[in-house]
A and B are shown apart, each in its own frame.
Chain A
Amino acid sequence: MQDFATDKAVAWGRALDKLTCFIPKSSNTVRIMKLTGILLLAACLQLSARGLTQTVTISVKDAPLLSVLKAIEKQTGFVFFADNKQLQKAKKVTLNVNNIPLQQALELCFKDQPLTYTVTGKVINVFPKDEISVTPNNSVLSPPIDIKGRIVDTKGEPISNATVSVKGTLKSTITNANGEFTLKGTDGNAIIIITHVQYETQYISLQGNEVVNATLQIKIGNLDELQVVAYGTTTKRLNTGNVSSVKASDIEKQPVNNPLLALQGRVPGLFVTQSTGLPGAGVTVRIQGKNSITRGNDPLYVIDGVPYSSQLLPTFSDILGRSGGISFDGVAAGGGNPLSFINPADIESIEVLKDADATSIYGSRASNGAILITTKKGKAGKTKVDFNAQHGFGKVSRFLPLLNTEQYLEMRKEALKNDGIQDPDPTDYDINGVWDTTRYTDWQKNLIGGTATYTDVQASVSGGNSNTQFLLGTGYHRETTVYPGDFSDQKKSIHFDINNVSTNQRFRLQFSGSYLSDNNRITTTDLTQQSIILPPTAPALYNEDGTLNWAPSPSGSSTWENPLAFLLTKYRIETTNLIGNLTVGYQILKGLELKSSFGYTKLQSNEISTTPLNAWSPELQTFNPRGASFSYNTIKSWISEPQISYTTNIASGKLEALIGGTILRNNSDVQSINASGYNSDVVLEDIRSASLISPGATADINYKYGALFGRINYVWQDKYIMNLTARRDGSSRFGAENQFHSFGSVATAWIFSKEGFMRQIPFVSFGKLRGNYGTTGNDQIGEYQFMNLYSPPSGVGVPYQNAIGLAPNRLNNPFLQWEETRKLQFGLDLGLLADRLLLTVNYYRNRTSNLLLQYQLPIFTGFLSQTRNFPATVQNTGWEFSLVSSNIKLKDFNWTTNFNLTVPKNKLVEFPTLETSTYVSSLVIGEPIAITKVYHLLGVDPATGIYQFADQAGNPTSNPTFATDANIIVNTLPTLYGGFQNNFSYKGLQLDVLFQFVKQKGGNNAFGNTPGAYYANQPTWVLDRWQKVGDEAPIQKYNADYSISGAFFNVNGSDKGIADASYIRLKNISLSWQLPQSWTRIIKTQNCRLYVLGQNIATITDYKGLDPETLSNSTLPPLRIITFGLHVTL
């Protein structure tokens, strides 16, 4: 306690001599102020009345005040802040009271003391009486004055509804929408206390000033911060479920083009991976592990109440990488990620819903968790113009060390010698004299070593009064690639929000929407693989005349594939995304509200891929004509959700009930066309110029969903909480026999810090135990899976009798239904030392059964398998830890730490008839569902120079058999992950540093890429190879004729080939400098901030491949991006 006392003493002394412009009051603002004032005052009274009903029992004689206050702290959970010196001056206390209210006890304690106190929330501040200067003598010296002022946050945003009170008096007021207040007749030497539920309390000594302007710091890890949950909001204090939030303040520190990437390393239980470093890349998101073996594992995305697609429709090219989507019936999810078409700057907060309590209300859609995105809303206040621009650069941060010319040539010659080949083959251009063997090119530098530019500009206008608020934002974002050539991804977006509440507060309306247009111009081939395998001696890219160099051999045929030819195959994806949401609500009676929300989304993308003639080498141009492919993909959905909610007080508790319904329609449409036979490269995008046009993939998929849902929440004495949710839903994805089902959850929480016995442990300021159990379903099983569909046979060139035939494409299963996940969760939330340390621990056990698998059938039934729900069970268990610590909290310097850690475990618990199923080679009972069976590598045989593996008997062999000898099971799921964030602020300077860490295994490139073979450069560690009989070396002998390539492929599938790929990544650094108010006044802005942001700055890892996140040498790693920016608020 003494510790705090010193802090507080500093805070007391915070006399504000900063002055800002005087804001004249308007009659309007006063009216609003009155209205909100009355409402808030009522709320405060209720709160304090409840708070101070705590009782105290004390019997002391001539005890020091300090010990009495400590006793009260223990009994009530309230915390005192006082200067130790002042307490020593206090008179001794004699008290004998039994179960009297706290307020009364305090009055008795301070009756004849030179000290007094104020109560703010659970904090009691103790001051010397003379500071308040209420003596007549002082009054003479400083006559009552009228004070005015404005309260803002650290970004210069006005804080409304802050309580401004005069210490030691009952005089208080509330700030209006502009953060302004007026207090009449205040003593000129009084101390003003400014409090707000989301901000740190501030004390200001007036010293005769009539204008009081203050900047409040946001409370870190605030328990009373608003927490968005499914169909409503709660607070961290009263939440019974496992929900984590990432706020705009963290999102905007990260130069990312997909808001999901801003979640990396910040949320326990959430594992996010980026599949390439290209803009618009695929992003895989897993919440509390992988539940389904064959079906989707994506969370449910909900943007402002409107469900949003988790996967894109099929695309021509995979260059953007997958988002962990599934592929069955020959239809694969497309490259890229739908969330790329949401502007991160429009987002106010992202909530990650994990357990049954948080997700059961979403029924059959949220077995893999849910991610709720809430966009920015207009705030009441003076019309504000916000402008934020950043520009920067991106580069590949990690290259592979590859062989130089000398090492490469030595390898090739040694390989031929090992193979017993005297003269190089006529096609071994690298060593047969066709290529210049003195050349050296660093292909990584040439092909992926460029600098990408990153530009992001956001502007918004917002404001309004207490009835109506608005926000209109617009954004521009452009990123280029590290490839040579002109490629870019460009996004333009607008976002708006209008809120209205009627003057009697009964009718509410909210209308928001966003539109984003994206133009991603890339190529169909990622050059990363080329940059790694091209020999260092490969020819120059261009001829002297500027044309592509195909390095023709003496016989005239091209001797290499010029990598720049890949870049000539242009690939353009134009996407537009529209999201609209309207919510209207009406309060019929006190506590009873009817509400209805409507949402519409339309995600449309047009793809064009064009191959000009010169993308082929000269001799191939006659066989491979110019071509183009066109695709039009649209996902449309609308949703309507009427709801009735009721809130009332029962006994000494609060009951909230909600009933609602959902109707959802979704349509996905794919049309694609292939065209060829053009006579010019110029007209490739014009389909009429093609002489041959053939249809490509098509799809027209409808999805309908309807549900009823409800929730009952009861909070008794802010101590015991019960939360019940239920949903009955029906989905068109399920068979007619099993179309409807009910899901539900039961959750309880106990805020034990409210109990009497906890008064013995004063350093525990908050403690809550949570537990819940419930069911959810996975409906990511594909559309029409239960139907017996007939489709045209594939691979038909000339239709039979010129008619399109039909064939049944599966054995239908009218009993087909969802996969079900039963989630059990326990949690503990602790607030220590007046909530300066917030610790959350969760344990989860999610069991998924009813898994959809292929049931093997004899072919005489017509098909080899049928999709059936299987009684197999997958279990995900894990521990999640998160710690928020306010390490140093001084007037000018703050240091806070955020730490989170997840230890997940995945296990196949049960799988009847696994031995006879097709899954026998990929699954093992008791092991995770994402395993690879590998050989045990014994090393290189010193006699032969070939890798040796242990067979099932443990004997060395260079030709192991997979079925019997691959007996080591490697888990490819992460086994530990988390993040470590530190935030430092000194006056206007703020520094954030986030580290992300992952413990996992993956294919690690430790053995090169068939060392010795033509057209494949190698990492430098292959130099450590076997050369002669008796050599002990980690790498087998060089080989050019692929005679020992079997051993090479096996070594990549060994326990050394799929090995540790753990990493620690300096994910994000953000440094910003807030211009002092005296400066911003001169340039006539409310707020001005300069900043530097960095993403993927450095990676610490033993992983030998290009990047441990993508685990691939053929895709571009996530780029290191550094930007410089300016944020101005007018």
Chain B
Amino acid sequence: MKPVHIFFIIIFFASTQLSTGCKKIAAVDAPNTSINALNVYTNDVTAAAVLTGIYTRISADAFTSPSINSISLFAGLSADELTLHTGVTDQTFRSFYRNALRDDNAGTQLWNKFYPIIYTANSAIEGIATSGTLSSNVTQQLLGEAKFIRAFCYFYLINLYGDVPLVLKTEASENVLLPRTPQNEIYQQIIKDLKEAQGHLKTEYVNADAKTDSQEKSRPNKYVATALLARAYLYIQNWASAESEATAVINITSLYDTVSFSSPVKAFDKNSMEAIWQLQYVGFDIV
């Protein structure tokens, strides 16, 4: 055989050998710059990051932030917690202030902010529960956080809008046809989620790794879930349960207490003893 033949055979077969396995040819891994649904819940760090993403979004996305479109502002106007300056002509603010909401909520469409978070919480609950590769303490903490967040969102939704669709799964083809669910059924789901969250969550506040203890009240712990549960019971007029859940929080005096006016850490300051759950500001630093 001439050298030319050998050369050719090597080259030709080198190229054909590569074509083994048709599926492999066209399969790619997820890009290095993003994580996908298949691998996000396979390790503690990325799984915890999904919940961190939720808090980031709640804080940044006109939810509770000092934004002019925040839910705190609208709800505060609606509850007369805030007073609207007489010179304000904006119909949205006025309609909330006068409790004369139009059926489209005058363009604020606050439900648009809750459902994407509910979707993420649902995907976390599905993914974390079936993962099997997460450490057990992180699994518990994150499941608790996700169920708390879901309950938290529905609590706001029903108090803003009454009956709303109750979405507990991620599959869009199933969700797309969901009707509104009566409020009382949603309350039952909220109570169920919060009771489960109580069982999952640690009693200590944790860091972003969902493991180590934190001095900051940035992520929900067992008492955060308990406090919301007390509030839910209160709203459905189950006074006894409301009282017992509230008492369970009040009794933890190592974490919670009233703050005197002269205290160095004021009631609304970071890590105040009066706070149960505090969202961190994530906007750009204003210099």
- How near does chain B come to A624, taking the closest CB pair, in angstroms? 13
A706 near B: Cβ within 8 Å?
yes
Contact A796 B8 (CB under 8 A): no
Contact B37 A811 (CB under 8 A): no
Q: B residues 164-202 with Cβ under 8 Å of A?
A: 164-165, 167, 170, 172, 175-176, 178
Can you list 11 residue pairs at the A/B interface with Cβ under 8 Å?
Answer: A642-B19, A663-B25, A789-B30, A790-B35, A796-B283, A799-B282, A805-B57, A807-B54, A858-B165, A860-B164, A862-B170
Q: Given A640-B15, A801-B219, A861 and B119 touching (CB < 8 A)?
A: yes
Residue-wise interface mask of B (118-162) relative to A, using a CB-CB cutoff of 8 A (1 in contact, 0 not): 111011000000000000000000000000000000000000000
Q: Given A661-B16, A798-B282, A799-B282, A859 and B49 touching (CB < 8 A)?
A: no
B-side contacts of A598, CB under 8 Å: 15
Cα A784 to Cα B22 with chains together (Å):
19
Contact B282 A797 (CB under 8 A): yes
Contact A862 B19 (CB under 8 A): no
Contact A706 B26 (CB under 8 A): yes
Q: A residues 717-755 with Cβ under 8 Å of B?
A: 729-732, 734, 739-740
A-side contacts of B246, CB under 8 Å: none
Contact B36 A502 (CB under 8 A): no
Contact B115 A800 (CB under 8 A): no
A421 near B: Cβ within 8 Å?
no
Cα A787 to Cα B112 with chains together (Å):
23
B66 near A: Cβ within 8 Å?
no
A-side contacts of B172, CB under 8 Å: 811, 857, 861-863, 866
A703 near B: Cβ within 8 Å?
yes
B74 near A: Cβ within 8 Å?
no
Contact A642 B33 (CB under 8 A): no
A804 near B: Cβ within 8 Å?
yes
A622 near B: Cβ within 8 Å?
no
- How near does chain A come to B122, taking the closest CB pair, in angstroms? 8
A812 near B: Cβ within 8 Å?
yes
A199 near B: Cβ within 8 Å?
no
Task: Select A793's contact among B16, B40, B60, beta carbons within 8 Å.
Answer: B60
Q: Given A703-B28, A788-B37, A800 and B50 touching (CB < 8 A)?
A: no
A-side contacts of B22, CB under 8 Å: 706, 730, 740
Q: Given A640-B15, A859-B111, A862-B170, A805 and B26 touching (CB < 8 A)?
A: no
Q: Which residues of A does B touch, CB under 8 Å?
A: 502, 507, 582, 584, 586, 594, 596, 598, 640-642, 661, 663, 698-706, 729-732, 734, 739-740, 783-784, 787-793, 795-809, 811-812, 857-863, 866
B226 near A: Cβ within 8 Å?
no
Q: Given A797-B284, A805-B54, A860-B175, A596 and B12 touching (CB < 8 A)?
A: yes
Which residue of chain A has its CB nearest to the CB of B123? Answer: A808
Cα A700 to Cα B29 with chains together (Å):
11
Other A-B pairs beyond A800-B208, A806-B40, 15, CB < 8 Å = A502-B4, A584-B7, A594-B12, A790-B35, A790-B40, A797-B284, A800-B55, A801-B280, A804-B49, A804-B52, A806-B35, A859-B116, A860-B111, A860-B175, A861-B119
B247 near A: Cβ within 8 Å?
no
B-side contacts of A663, CB under 8 Å: 15, 18-19, 25
Cα A860 to Cα B167 with chains together (Å):
7
B-side contacts of A783, CB under 8 Å: 28, 31
B46 near A: Cβ within 8 Å?
yes
Contact A795 B40 (CB under 8 A): no
Contact A788 B36 (CB under 8 A): yes
Contact A860 B115 (CB under 8 A): yes
Q: Given A799-B282, A800-B59, A642 and B12 touching (CB < 8 A)?
A: yes
Q: Given A704-B25, A798-B280, A790 and B15 touching (CB < 8 A)?
A: no
Contact B55 A805 (CB under 8 A): yes
A-side contacts of B37, CB under 8 Å: 787-790, 808, 812
**B interface bracket (residues with beta carbon within 8 Å of A):** 35 or more
B95 near A: Cβ within 8 Å?
no
Contact A862 B115 (CB under 8 A): yes
B-side contacts of A808, CB under 8 Å: 37, 119-120, 123
Task: Select B33's contact among A699, A705, A798, A862, beta carbons within 8 Å.
Answer: A699
B88 near A: Cβ within 8 Å?
no
Contact B26 A784 (CB under 8 A): no
Cα A807 to Cα B118 with chains together (Å):
12
Contact A809 B282 (CB under 8 A): no
Contact A805 B50 (CB under 8 A): yes
Which residue of chain B has its CB nearest to the CB of A813? Answer: B172
Residue-wise interface mask of B (29-48) relative to A, using a CB-CB cutoff of 8 A (1 in contact, 0 not): 11111111110100000101
- How near does chain A come to B137, taking the closest CB pair, in angstroms? 17
Contact A661 B176 (CB under 8 A): no
Contact A861 B175 (CB under 8 A): yes
Most buried by A among B26, B115, B172: B26
Cα A857 to Cα B32 with chains together (Å):
29
Cα A30 to Cα B155 with chains together (Å):
96
Contact B59 A584 (CB under 8 A): no
Task: Select B11's contact among A596, A706, A729, A811, beta carbons within 8 Å.
Answer: A596
- How near does chain A come to B159, taking the closest CB pair, in angstroms? 17
Cα A179 to Cα B233 with chains together (Å):
100
Contact B36 A787 (CB under 8 A): yes
Which residue of chain B has its CB nearest to the CB of A784? Answer: B31
Task: Select A706's contact among B25, B218, B281, beta carbons within 8 Å.
Answer: B25
- How near does chain A come to B225, taking the closest CB pair, in angstroms? 19
Q: Given A702-B28, A807-B50, A863-B116, A793 and B15 touching (CB < 8 A)?
A: no
Which residue of chain A has its CB nearest to the CB of B59? Answer: A800
Cα A866 to Cα B170 with chains together (Å):
13
Q: Given A584-B12, A806-B40, A862-B170, A701 and B119 touching (CB < 8 A)?
A: no
Contact B59 A641 (CB under 8 A): no
Which residue of chain A has its CB nearest to the CB of B37? Answer: A788
Cα A883 to Cα B55 with chains together (Å):
68
Contact A732 B218 (CB under 8 A): no
Which residue of chain B has its CB nearest to the CB of A729? Answer: B26
Contact B118 A862 (CB under 8 A): yes
Contact A800 B27 (CB under 8 A): no
B-side contacts of A806, CB under 8 Å: 35, 40, 46, 49-50, 52-53
Closest 8 CB pairs of A and B: A862-B119, A706-B25, A805-B53, A797-B284, A803-B208, A730-B26, A788-B37, A732-B28
Q: Given A596-B12, A642-B19, A793 and B31 touching (CB < 8 A)?
A: no
Task: Select A584's contact among B8, B46, B50, beta carbons within 8 Å.
Answer: B8
Cα A857 to Cα B119 with chains together (Å):
13
Task: Select A859's contact among B23, B112, B218, beta carbons within 8 Å.
Answer: B112
Most buried by A among B7, B52, B219: B52
A-side contacts of B50, CB under 8 Å: 790, 805-807
A-side contacts of B52, CB under 8 Å: 800-801, 803-806
Contact B25 A803 (CB under 8 A): no
Cα A695 to Cα B285 with chains together (Å):
16
Cα A734 to Cα B164 with chains together (Å):
35
B207 near A: Cβ within 8 Å?
yes
Which residue of chain A has its CB nearest to the CB of B177? Answer: A858
Cα A795 to Cα B57 with chains together (Å):
10
Cα A701 to Cα B28 with chains together (Å):
10
Q: Given A730-B25, A739-B26, A805-B49, A791 and B282 touching (CB < 8 A)?
A: no
Cα A702 to Cα B30 with chains together (Å):
8
Cα A792 to Cα B50 with chains together (Å):
9
B238 near A: Cβ within 8 Å?
no
B-side contacts of A805, CB under 8 Å: 49-57
B108 near A: Cβ within 8 Å?
no
Contact B57 A807 (CB under 8 A): yes
Q: Given A596-B15, A700-B31, A790-B37, A861 and B176 touching (CB < 8 A)?
A: yes
Residue-wise interface mask of B (1-22) relative to A, using a CB-CB cutoff of 8 A (1 in contact, 0 not): 0001101100110011011001
A-side contacts of B280, CB under 8 Å: 798, 800-801
- How near does chain A come to B180, taking the closest CB pair, in angstroms? 10
A-side contacts of B163, CB under 8 Å: none
Which residue of chain B has its CB nearest to the CB of A796? Answer: B282
B-side contacts of A795, CB under 8 Å: 60, 283
Cα A799 to Cα B26 with chains together (Å):
36
